[in-house]
Amino acid sequence: MTNLILSVAMLTSLALVIGAMVLLRRGQRKQPALMLVLAAVMVANVVIWSIPTNDGQSLLTAEGLR
């Protein structure tokens, strides 16, 4: 289940980046910047949960969330 959530987060961040590019082309500035920040935060969260700990497990398996 957590793999699904991480995958959806990555797909959502990709959609946010594409949407921000579209809005930037239309001349908006504030909303696309916030969308890019949100996408960066989502990617950072996925990376944090996916990187291995000292014993070789990811945080997902180390916390028993799997």
Report pLDDT digits (tens) over 36-49.
999 999 999 999 98
**36, 17 contact by CB (below 8 A):** yes
Residue 50: Cβ within 10 Å count:
12
Domain count, the chain: 1
C-alpha of 19 from chain center: 15
Q: What is the pLDDT of residues 2-32, one digit of tens each?
A: 889 999 999 999 999 999 999 999 999 999 9
10 Å CB burial of residue 35 (0-12, 13-18, 19+) is buried
User: Which tops the pLDDT comparison, 47 or 55?
Assistant: 47
Domain containing 11 equals 2-62
Please determine, for residue 58, whether its predicted confidence score (pLDDT) is greater than 80.
no
Q: Under DSSP, is residue 52 helix (H, G, I), strand (E, B) or coil?
A: strand
